[in-house]
Amino acid sequence: MIRTRRAVACGAALLASALAATLAAVPAQADDPGWRVVEAGPNPGWDDFGTVATSSKRNAWVFGGVIGDTPPMRPIAKRWVDGAWRNVALPDEVVGYIDAASTTSAQNVWAIADHGDAGPSYALRWDGSAWTSSHRWEEGLTSDVITTGRRDVWVFGYSRAGAGVGTWHFDGSRWRQADVGDLLLERGSAVSARDIWAVGATRSTGCGDRTVAHYDGRRWRSVPVGDALPPDIPQPDEGGPYQCVHLRDVLATSRHDVWVTGNLYRSDGTEQHEERPVLAHWDGRTWRSQEIPGTWIPNRLASDGRGGLWITGWDDSSGPTPEATPLMHRAADGTWRTATIDAAGRPARIRELALIPGTRSLWGVGLIENPEEIDGAIYRYR
């Protein structure tokens, strides 16, 4: 499986609203299985980690952004080297926040950074020795990046937060905008170069983002999911109740094991509404709805390495906050539990997760917040 994830667009707003501080590193406790903070800080200014990518026990990266004494936000990157996380320099020209990354080896790592829909946005490449800017878009948001090899990279650019760059492909020599018809692709997950899944919308979707798409090595096409997702119910012109499905992530571990998750937004046509989680699974033949408890909003998926899932999210539609951020686990038998994070009593949030291939251990990234301070955090599950 080749996997990538991105952070939600509110990362910059969370950073900008915080006051400057630095948290001391919190050591992991390997004796007790579970989620632990392995690092928080000490980058100068306010930082926030939004994405993590790994292809082996020795190849792992985390990314995000930092605000110093003055704007603009600058992207940050850390690499797992000899048992420690170390800062790695990025090109000086790059500004903004890195919200997605993907890797297949220590010599093939990709990340995307943007500075809002007014631009610029960048596709960044690590070749084993240094980071370079492979492509720059003058305007538009990026939402995900997927690589299956040095000559196969996809960048998606669709977001509810603003105009996106569209869907682009790198073949090892140059970038081209892909012909995807009316698809608006936001998040993706690849089994191979000829088996890639994505979620997003179409230009005629309506109120929700419920589109599931597949790439077979030749073309992208929309995939019907039947009744695996609740129906969209458009709001009448005169007003009234409506509901919309918003898919937020996809995880493909094999050609017969694909998951999508998101939320159902249901409104009575006034200020009253409710959010319900949705989860659906593809077994190679059929899409089926899966039971998912609670009223929270799922955001990111990761395999647990034993047939189950980890899912990050938040508890209400006002957006993710450390105080209201569930971390849920679905076992292979379908049982659910809420996980806790040992952060010495401080509010902690995991934005994204990545399974370390060949293990049942995961890396996670996010933030830790006190009443007057915030800092990016790296987590580990053993």
Of 293, 291, 215, the C-alpha closest to 252 is: 215
Question: Is residue 41 in some structural domain?
Answer: yes
pLDDT class of 324 with cuts at 50, 70, 90? low
The SS3 call for residue 35 is strand
Calculate the average pLDDT of the chain: 87
Question: Is residue 11 in some structural domain?
Answer: yes
Question: What pLDDT score does 43 carry?
Answer: 63
324/109: higher pLDDT: 109
DSSP string, 209-224: B-EEEEE-SS-EEE--
Question: Which residues constitute the domain of residue 251?
Answer: 2-300
- List the CATH number of the domain containing 216: 2.120.10
What average pLDDT does the segment 243-251 reach? 97
Question: Is residue 242 in some structural domain?
Answer: yes
Q: What is the pTM of this model?
A: 0.89
Q: Is pLDDT at 1 greater than 60 in this prediction?
A: no
Question: What pLDDT score does 47 carry?
Answer: 84
Q: Is pLDDT at 121 greater than 50 in this prediction?
A: yes
Q: How far is CA 68 from the centre of its chain?
A: 24
**Residues 53-112: pLDDT tens digits?**
999 999 999 999 988 766 788 999 999 999 999 999 999 999 999 999 999 999 999 999
Q: Is pLDDT at 236 greater than 70 in this prediction?
A: yes
pLDDT class of 169 with cuts at 50, 70, 90? very high
Q: Is pLDDT at 319 greater than 50 in this prediction?
A: yes
Question: What pLDDT score does 270 carry?
Answer: 79
Q: Is pLDDT at 318 greater than 60 in this prediction?
A: no
Of 367, 328, 364, the C-alpha closest to 347 is: 367
Question: Is residue 119 in some structural domain?
Answer: yes
Question: What pLDDT score does 163 carry?
Answer: 84
DSSP state, residue 324:
G
Q: What is the C-alpha to C-alpha distance for residues 181 and 161, in angstroms, rounded to an integer?
A: 22
What average pLDDT does the segment 117-144 reach? 95
Question: Is residue 367 in some structural domain?
Answer: no
Provide the edge-to-edge strand list for the sheet that holds 152-156: 144-149, 152-156, 168-170, 175-177
What average pLDDT does the segment 266-290 reach? 92
Question: What pLDDT score does 3 carry?
Answer: 42
pLDDT class of 371 with cuts at 50, 70, 90? low
Q: What is the C-alpha to C-alpha distance for residues 332 and 350, in angstroms, rounded to an integer?
A: 22
Q: Is pLDDT at 11 greater than 60 in this prediction?
A: no
Question: Is residue 137 in some structural domain?
Answer: yes
Question: What pLDDT score does 33 carry?
Answer: 65
Question: Is residue 252 in some structural domain?
Answer: yes
Question: Is residue 223 in some structural domain?
Answer: yes
pLDDT class of 269 with cuts at 50, 70, 90? confident
Share of the chain above pLDDT 90, in %: 68
Report the domain count for the chain: 1
Question: What pLDDT score does 25 carry?
Answer: 35
Beta strands in 130-181 (DSSP E): 131-137, 144-149, 152-156, 168-170, 175-177
- Give the range among 241-245, 312-316, 329-333 with minimum mean pLDDT: 312-316
- Give the range among 111-125, 133-147, 247-261 with minimum mean pLDDT: 111-125
What average pLDDT does the segment 250-276 reach? 92
Q: Is pLDDT at 246 greater than 60 in this prediction?
A: yes
